[in-house]
Amino acid sequence: MVLERNKDISRFSAFKTPATTEYFFELSVRTEFDELVTVLAKIRELKLPIVYIASGTNCLFAFDHFPGIIVHIAMRDAYFTQENKILYLHAESGVLMWPVVSESIKTYGVPTLLPWVGLPGTVGGAVVGNAWCFWLETSAIVQSVEVLDTVTGEVAILKNNEMKYEYRSSILKWQDRHLVVATTFNLQYLQVDNPFTKMTIAEMQATRRTKQPPGLSCGSYFTNPSGTSAGKLIDQVGLKGTSVGGMQISPHHANFFVSSPGATWQDVLKLAELAKTKVRETFQIELHEEVRIIK
Ligand SMILES: Cc1cc2nc3c(=O)[nH]c(=O)nc-3n(C[C@H](O)[C@H](O)[C@H](O)COP(=O)(O)OP(=O)(O)OC[C@H]3O[C@@H](n4cnc5c(N)ncnc54)[C@H](O)[C@@H]3O)c2cc1C
Residues 220 and 258 in one domain: yes
Instruction: Calculate mean pLDDT across residues 30-55.
Output: 97
The set of catalytic residues is 168, 220, 290
Burial (0-12, 13-18, 19+ Cβ within 10 Å), 238: exposed
| Per-residue b or e along 25-59, where b marks 16 or more CB atoms closer than 10 Å to that residue's CB | bbbeeeebbeebbebbeebbeeeebbbbbbbbbbb
pLDDT of residue 228: 96
Domain holding 128, by residue range, is 78-209
Residue whose CB lies within 8 A of the most ligand 1 atoms, among 11, 51, 53, for a mutation test:
53
CA distance 48 to 170: 24
| Model confidence pLDDT, tens digit, residues 166-179 | 999 999 998 899 99
Please give the span between the terminal C-alpha atoms of the chain, in angstroms, as a whole number: 26
Query: Which of these, 54, 58, 101, 60, lies nearest to 80 by C-alpha position?
Result: 101
The verdict on the CB of residue 271 being under 6 Å from ligand 1 is: no
The CATH number assigned to the domain holding 175 equals 3.30.465.10
pLDDT of residue 254: 97
272 near 279, Cβ under 8 Å? Answer: no
pLDDT of residue 272: 98
**Sorting pLDDT into bands at 50, 70 and 90, what band is 188?**
confident
The residue nearest atom 49 of ligand 1, judged by CA position, is 173
Residues 8 and 107 in one domain: no
pLDDT of residue 2: 79
The verdict on the CB of residue 55 being under 6 Å from ligand 1 is: yes
pLDDT of residue 230: 98
pTM for this predicted structure: 0.95
| Model confidence pLDDT, tens digit, residues 25-37 | 999 999 999 999 9
Residue whose CB lies within 8 A of the most ligand 1 atoms, among 32, 77, 119, 185, for a mutation test:
119
Residue 197 has pLDDT above 90, yes or no: no
> What kind and span of H or E run contains 283?
helix 265-283
Residues 100 and 149 in one domain: yes
- Count CB atoms within 10 A of the CB of residue 165: 18
Residues of the chain with pLDDT > 90, as a percent, come to 88
Number of domains in the chain: 3
**Sorting pLDDT into bands at 50, 70 and 90, what band is 156?**
very high
Residues 131 and 196 in one domain: yes
The residue nearest atom 4 of ligand 1, judged by CA position, is 219
CA distance 160 to 30: 23
Q: Which residues pair with 12 in a beta bridge?
A: none
Tell me how far the alpha carbon of residue 90 lies from the centroid of ligand 1, in angstroms: 18
Residues 90 and 178 in one domain: yes
| Model confidence pLDDT, tens digit, residues 224-269 | 999 999 999 999 999 999 999 999 999 999 999 999 999 999 999 9
134 near 128, Cβ under 8 Å? Answer: no
